[in-house]
Structure 1
Amino acid sequence: MNDILAALRAAGEETRLRLLALCDRADLTVSDLTRILGQSQPRISRHLKVLCDSNLLTRLREGSWVFFRLERQGPIATLIEQILAQLPADDPVLLRDRARLEAVQTERASAAQAYFRDNAAQWNAIRSLYVEDAAVEEALVAILSGGNADYRLGHLLDIGTGTGRMLSLLGGHADSAVGIDQSREMLALARTALEDAGLRNCLVRQGDMYALPVDDASMTVVIIHQVLHFAETPAAAIAEAARVLAPGGRLMVVDFAPHDLEYLRDQHNHRRLGFSVEEVEDWCRRAALSPLSTHDLAGRPQAGQSLTVRLWLAERPAT
């Protein structure tokens, strides 16, 4: 009862209710909220502290930045969702807040697109050597879904989420989904994509694949998609992914089969030129995971060169 009363008191103030309505729509910083509401930063920060202390908002730190989003799990989350559902859609104050939020999101999207534009040539040069993204995604979905169109993934973690493509692809089938990446620019791209897709059950966080900001045994599915070849110690990355997998949970690794394209080291910072079936399966076993299957998708030859994309599936035993 005390928790519920504290939550009601925290939400029962105009500015804080506006903050909750905004953070229901997007992950926002203090700076974003200050611009939208037109109030001072200290005042907004005080309101945010009250909301976080009452478990109505969650703080997500990315380096020196902190994002705030609506808490979406537990009885207090259910209560606040019911309160927000009662807010009139035509309220002039809320309409103005939403218009300013859209302006902030448009500005953020423009900056993210500029970054993508600056780096698109590099990414496309690599992608032109291997299987079309659509074919890889089709194979990945087929493996995880088992051919069931109504498949569910439970709690999903995407390590090295980049632009958030895996979250956009699979988030609608997950109870919750988290994308982790070290690059703030990539996280901006991912956040924009998720907001555009309306995937409010998905969030992105800045983090290290060797020290994931995720609880032990809390994830149902973990994906490492085209990330392992950048890793200094791939075995450690797989071990860390295994740590957060719940019993019966599955790890999906998507990367290259062994190849000899040395320029990928020099020009694109690849640490490893692909992986054999055996070494990835060995890393999984050492992390107490059971390898289940591998699938190869041959790339398109370009000037006598091509890359094969390989998909590994492993599982943490239920007992």
Structure 2
Amino acid sequence: MAPKFPDSVEELRAAGNESFRNGQYAEASALYGRALRVLQAQGSSDPEEESVLYSNRAACHLKDGNCRDCIKDCTSALALVPFSIKPLLRRASAYEALEKYPMAYVDYKTVLQIDDNVTSAVEGINSWKPPCNPAFFSRMTRALMDSLGPEWRLKLPSIPLVPVSAQKRWNSLPSENHKEMAKSKSKETTATKNRVPSAGDVEKARVLKEEGNELVKKGNHKKAIEKYSESLLCSNLESATYSNRALCYLVLKQYTEAVKDCTEALKLDGKNVKAFYRRAQAHKALKDYKSSFADISNLLQIEPRNGPAQKLRQEVKQNLH
């Protein structure tokens, strides 16, 4: 009796996952493709399921060295669920293999906006041995410098700004390797916090922070965030860098990220007035008036005559009643 082939989307995806784990990438790709056809024939709108199937098939193409079809499937996955980490990483790897380094760099940088501790994205842009030392730039970064010159960053395609709503999505996306990703994130975060920056790293961080400050003066807050983020990769011991990046997030209405950066700034300097003020502004925008009032109160204990803080306290106080 001939074996019964799976016919539901769930069964086909599970069979594809099993084939992938066994190294049978062509078979897995066919199963994911069949699952996509079934899903699309049903006419049901399930963009996340469809996106995962495209992303999984892209992984098969990548394993088989079929980079162009990998890019195509990742792009389809991202059209359904924008800013998903796995298709972004897989597309970046495929672009890198095809030596399309500007496109790969953009995808890696996009991933780092979602989660700045994804090891493969960090390593794709800069080596960690140690960071910010030009002798240890990744192969891709060196290739970009060679092909585009010292101002190569200015010649890259635009890096999309990831909305806050997408920055937490990797925690809930359907993913076989979720536990591995969470473990990797935890390990990388610990390594970053425990790393003692060298004098060269600290100097490079200072220069990058100043470049970020200049971009803020010009009103280019998106690029300033990139500079501050690079600075913090070199040395995460500067309170002002976090509070400066928080200002950019405030301007771009990414209030949750602003709160997070101000909190990091205050861990380093408990009397950082700007961090208290900006976190109060972010909390107010998020309608967390109690937290906003607490931050302003702490600020006014440090600077009792701070005019903007006194004004903000009155505004927040009205919402508390």
More helix by share: 2
Bin for the TM-score computed over the shorter chain: under 0.3
State the structure with bigger RCO (CA 8 A, min sep 6), 1 or 2: 1
More strand by share: 1
Give the alignment's TM-score, normalised by structure 2.
0.28
